[in-house]
Amino acid sequence: MVAKVMAVVFAVALISTGVATTATAAPAPRAEGALNAGLSGPGPYAVSATAQVTRCVGPEADAQNADARRQGAFTPLQCTSAAPIGRGPDTGVDFYYPTATGQRPLVVFVPGSRANPGYFAPLARHWASYGFVVAISYKGTELAPESGFLGLRRAVAVNGDRTSPLFGRMDLRRVVLAGHSSGATKAIEVAGIANATNGVPVPPAFDVPAAVRLVGVLALAPDVYTVPTPVRTPTLIATGTADRASNPGRIEPIVYGPITGAPAWFVVARGAPHLGVVNPLTTYPLTGVAVQFLRFVTGDPAACRSFVGPSWTLPGDGAFARVVRNATARASSCPA
């Protein structure tokens, strides 16, 4: 069974897509609904990072910016030194973390195909300002979801390194897999592979470290090139009405629908394009949803009520065109 799952993952990961959307003008900041309220602005913590980010420059950056504008980005992209835009390696893990002391939940985030990790630095800083350590894990060329496992291994190593500013700072029993576009697909696949192995030996590149406990999956604008996997972890899948690369009509049955063994939610934000996530976060309708979901799966009982129970607040938020949850989510309850 494991061999079949791994074979299908490898086969599916060979497929790529280049769907583009029309350009999007800069919208005004959105009125905040019940779920987003107060979470689109920065959180209470100061943030540090292991990577430097500047405006992307060079021929490769020009091409990326042009493509990004077609997919809804109106803000010039930011880049780290990672290749091919920069002169650094095309594989690595960048950390963003709150400077406050104490152990914090970990989010391993995987960018989409060809995306520089710097594109998502504002998002990572935003999550870190709410108390999460964020590891942006990227791999230039991968035939399967190696980057997610790379991020998990690097986090464990850094957490145990006494010379690191992150020594002992991560709560590895509260780990969320996240990603955008094909990176979101990889986050789902990593969770599926982790569930499918059930202790059966797998290649080291696809091994979840023993110290790690996965508590959630956050998939922002996933592509459809994934397969049903035995995900047993609470999963939020989010896209937008203006997202043609992550078309809601295809994502719902192909990506969200097969998740039946764990609570799952599917939300569609009004007007959100594929690369809306790189624009100022106050204009991105999924900003607050993402923070609240991270809080929920890492143990915040107040956030739980936004997703679980008969009076859950998400459908009342006017930023969404569609919100559904599966039977497992409907049957779940929050801690007393």
DSSP 271-309: T--TTGGGS-GGG-TTHHHHHHHHHHHTT-HHHHTTTSS
Angle (nearest 5°) at CA 179 between 6 and 15: 45
Q: What is the pLDDT of residue 30?
A: 42
User: Do residues 218 and 177 lie in contact, with contact meaning Cβ atoms separated by under 8 Å?
Assistant: yes
What integer pLDDT is reported at residue 12 of this predicted model?
32
| CB-based burial label for 158 (10 Å; 0-12, 13-18, 19+) | buried
Query: How far apart, in whole angstroms, are the C-alpha atoms of residue 155 and residue 8?
Result: 27
pLDDT tens, 288-321?
999 999 999 999 988 998 898 876 777 767 789 9
Is 2-15+32-330 CATH 3.40.50.980?
no
In this prediction, residue 218 carries a pLDDT of 98
pLDDT score, position 8: 34
Mean pLDDT of 148-159: 96
pTM comes to: 0.88
> What mean pLDDT value characterizes the chain?
85
Token readout for 110 is 């995987």
pLDDT grade for 201, boundaries at 50, 70 and 90: low
Is the pLDDT assigned to residue 50 strictly greater than 50? yes
Mean pLDDT of 132-156: 92
For residue range 244-279, what is the model confidence (pLDDT) as tens digits?
999 999 999 999 999 999 999 999 999 999 999 999
Does residue 17 carry a pLDDT above 50?
A: no
Q: Where are the domains of the chain?
A: 2-15+32-330
* 271/248 Cα distance (integer angstroms): 12
Q: Which of 38-47, 147-156, 231-240, 302-311 has the lowest mean pLDDT?
A: 302-311
Asked if the model's pLDDT at residue 19 lies above 60, the reply is no
Higher pLDDT, 292 or 35: 292
Q: How confident is the model at residue 148 (pLDDT cuts 50, 70, 90)?
A: very high
Which pLDDT score is estimated for 280?
Answer: 94
Cα dist. 297→63, 138, 233, 265 in Å? 37, 24, 9, 12
Contact 21, 70 (CB under 8 A): yes
pLDDT of residue 142: 80
